[in-house]
Amino acid sequence: MISDRHPLRQLFQEVVAGCYASDGIQDPDLTGYVGNLLTEFAAADKLYRIRDRAGKPVKEIQDMVAAADPVFGAAASFDEEREVRRHIGDYALFATGMYPESLQLWRHSGESSLLDMVRTGKESYYIVSQFDLFEYQKDAPLFARLSRQFELCMHGLTRVREELERIGKLAQ
């Protein structure tokens, strides 16, 4: 895990907050969550952290959804279902916002379209928001906002990508 004071985490937090603010999103919890998401996904093993029963990384969104099922899938409990659904929402937001061109490649291979990814991401965040009791009660409203504002967050991430590219060119 990358520390809270690591420059990469600080950079992502600042860029996300700035780009989202320019799109009218003034929600520190939401921008903090997205900044942390980018930081965590900087490590490739976090991007594909869902494993099948054989221990291999699950890379297709439909397979991730199947793995989230606590009855027929790999999720051993409803808590694990929540974690897998959260990851699906995170993965869909990251892919559609930061790398929408990857969806074009997936479509040619018969995988999800952009609309499928958006629908699955929104649905997954919505499901996570429904876990609103006990230790999950505090986080549930954030996931409800992520579900409702998925497209806006996706657009914000596209702006984050553009800003990071601009910063990278300045540093050269």
Domain ranges of the chain: 50-171
**With a cut of 70, which residues of the chain have pLDDT below it?**
103-112
- The values of phi and psi at residue 51, to 5°, are -120, 150
Instruction: State both tokens at 50.
Output: 């869902």
Contacts of 73 (CB under 8 A, 6+ apart): 66, 67
Strand partners, 51: 57
Question: Per-residue pLDDT tens for 103-149?
Answer: 665 554 555 688 899 999 999 999 999 999 999 999 999 999 999 99
Q: What is the pTM of this model?
A: 0.92
CA-only gyration radius of the chain, Å: 16
Let me know: does 129 contact 144? Beta carbons within 8 Å: yes
